[in-house]
Amino acid sequence: MNIFIIPSWYPCQSLPISGIFFQEQAAYLADYSMSNQIGVSLWGQSDKNLQWVAKDLLLLNKFLPKALYTIAQKKKVKKVKDNLFEYYNPVILWSKRIKNGNFQGIVEANDVNLKDFIRNQGKVDVIHAHVSFPAGFLAKQLSEKYKIPYIITEHMAPFPFVHLLNPDGSLQNEVFDSLNNAARIIAVSPSLSKRIKSFNLPEPVYIPNIIDEDFFKISSQNLSNSKFTFFCLGGMDPSKGIKELLYAVQKLLSNVDRPFCARIGGDGDYLEEYQSIAAELKITEHVKWLGLLSREEVRREHQTCDAFVLPSFIETFGVVYAEAIACGKPVIGAYSGGPECIINKNNGVLVKVGDIPDLATKMQFIMEYHNSYNAIEIRNDFENRFSKKSVIPRLLEVYESVIDK
């Protein structure tokens, strides 16, 4: 099967974790069967150095490095595995007020990438777009031109992004048409599926994101913390509920005698504000700020913590919760969309969105009843639902069903 993947975001030098789940899924598909030939279409979609704004032209210290970087970018094909190739055709973007920001350049780059993949690997059986815009829109264009079926996996949180809505609350045509004409829509959580259907679109099939069960796993070491340790990982912005977590930590201090700490990983514009709030609440000795973490560091934190907590206001899925249960840890999440399809009575608890007293109570519950959670059972449940061996066959079934049509 020849699969052409168009991701709306993808890791690059300036944003190494942007769209990393799309990159990993392509690799998992390639590993699953050598008969799968996979091409990934890239145009620098997450590369800020290819996105020009007015101040880049006005400030010499910004213009020269960016200009040199842009000139150095060349069309190329990278062999990632014997059956996985990245087709890179860089596109310079600018203000949408001028010729729509060169979106036509993105369309043409994907057309060239597809033709190169066909030339090297043969006829494409299916196009898989991640996110309805821009990738889904691009997939629709190529599908119509080359008569290749396309599917879209939607990941937007929230769905849709505000700028993709019309003033009357309807979807912009580019988004609606892309989804409505797809051979199949995949949603990464039941709540997202319901949301998509509410726009009078075909009901998506639910297939969750994939977690690497060979990487995220229960530690082989018998670890024990002197303090009960909560691990939290998320971007430092209001949607992740970090501020609410800090207030819950303060509240928890007056409710429990057992020492505990919260180790918080991630970076973002609100980091300094959250650190100031922690100081004002006099909880700095109970909070450890970890900053950006590598994949290996994330695994270590999951494996060495006692429980994972992230009280997000909105999640389409919530990969970090699934990574935690892959490591056998109980989790605390909010009723925010994605966590409801991951967290159950055997692996953790859910809290009301933005409810600090409820969050503090559930954190206390996890501390008091931690020993009632069985790491092996949590891990087995994860493998049955979110592992490569569980999810990839379901994805391949969707491919085969649209090809058969």
Q: How many residues does the chain have?
A: 405
Q: Domains in the chain, ordered, with CATH?
A: 2-210+388-404 (3.40.50.2000), 228-386 (3.40.50.2000)
89: nearest Cα among 68, 62, 67, 117: 117
Give CA–CA dist 320/326, Å, rounded: 10
**Dihedral through CA 381, CA 226, CA 277, CA 270, nearest 10?**
-50
Strand partners, 310: 333
Find where tokens 């159950």 sit. Answer: 344
Give burial (CB, 10 Å; 0-12/13-18/19+) of 269. Answer: exposed
Model pLDDT, residue 245 = 99
Cis amide linkage into residue 259, ω under 30° from 0:
no
One digit per residue, pLDDT tens: the chain, 405 residues?
999 999 999 998 777 888 899 999 999 999 999 999 999 999 988 887 777 665 555 565 666 676 677 767 888 999 999 999 999 999 887 667 766 768 899 999 999 999 999 999 999 999 999 999 999 999 999 999 999 999 999 999 899 999 999 999 999 999 999 999 999 999 999 999 999 999 999 999 999 999 999 999 999 887 788 999 999 999 999 999 999 999 999 999 999 999 999 999 999 999 999 999 999 999 999 999 999 999 999 999 999 999 999 999 999 999 999 999 999 999 999 999 999 999 999 999 999 999 999 999 999 999 999 999 999 999 999 999 999 999 999 999 999 999 976
Say whether pTM exceeds 0.85: yes
Q: Are 11 and 45 in contact (CB under 8 A)?
A: no
71/50 Cα distance (integer angstroms): 10
Contact (CB, 8 A) for 332 and 349: yes
Q: Distance between CA atoms of 100 and 178, rounded to whole angstroms?
A: 18
Structure tokens at 28: 């998992």
Residue whose token pair is 């769905």: 159
Between the CA atoms of 390, 391, 392 and 398, what dihedral angle is there, to the nearest 10 degrees? Answer: 130
Residue 385 token pair: 């639902």
pLDDT at position 14? 75
Calpha distance 229→329 (Å, rounded): 11
The two tokens of residue 59 are 């400030």
Burial 376-394 (b: 16+ CB within 10 A, else e): eebbebbbebbbbebbbee
At residue 13, the pLDDT reads 79
- Specify burial of residue 125 (Cβ count, 10 A radius: 0-12, 13-18, 19+): middle
**Alpha carbon distance 212, 29 (integer Å):** 12
Q: Up-side HSE of residue 360: CA atoms within 13 Å toward CB?
A: 16
Q: Are 212 and 288 in contact (CB under 8 A)?
A: no
Number of H helices, E strands in the chain: 14, 14
Q: What per-residue confidence (pLDDT) applies to 46?
A: 80
At residue 74, the pLDDT reads 84
The three-state secondary structure class of 147 is: coil
